[in-house]
Amino acid sequence: MDYRIMGHTGLQLSVVSYGSWVTFHKQVDDRLADELMGIAYDSGINFFDNAEVYALGESEKLMGRVLKRKNWERSSYIVSSKAYFGWRGKHNKPNQTGLSRKHLVEACQEALQRLQVDYLDLYFCHRPDTTVPIEEVVWTMNHLIQQGKILYWGTSQWSGAEIMEAHRVAQQYKLIGPAMEQPQYNMFERFKMEQDYLPVFQNAGMGTTI
């Protein structure tokens, strides 16, 4: 399980979330995933995290099957996905990775299908993409929000400067900026959270999913 702390989005998430990286599909099958997600939900854990690249899409498919069977009230839990790496591994074509409008839109639709939900509560840009103008990324995420496909968008492993640039673009064009970042934060990886992100926390506000 992943420990998560959220803020500045208006969402109410538990401090502990259920993550699927490494385990789902590779180590955890449908039966065990159903049991563990049920225990988590009954214990008050309401945040289920995933990504297109986890087990090359199979992790989202597994989680989607469990969510479909559980039939929990959709408003009672949060589900997230991330886009950047694609789900085809070494078979990805150039337009099937990165943060281009084409990939973000198509990856979002694919995540919705695999997770069997109508919308994603949180949608992350899994890494920064220096080949795509930040204006294109912010406009695309704003468009997905307007379409009702995602509720909040965020970043993962971005620098403080990159996040502030996204907020600058959002403010300039009156768009919705990133609401959360998913960084590493532990005894060995402290710089971003404790130093690099300080201007973001002070000037823009940001939730984190550690």
What does each C-alpha distance from 31 to 5, 26, 58, 73 come to in angstroms? 28, 13, 15, 21
Catalytic residue among 18, 54, 84, 123: 54
Q: Is 84 labeled as catalytic in the residue annotation?
A: no
Rounded Cα gap, residues 196 and 206, in angstroms: 13
> Buried b / exposed e across 103-124, counting CB within 10 Å, b at 16+?
bbbebbebbbebbbbebbbbbb
Active site amino acids = 54
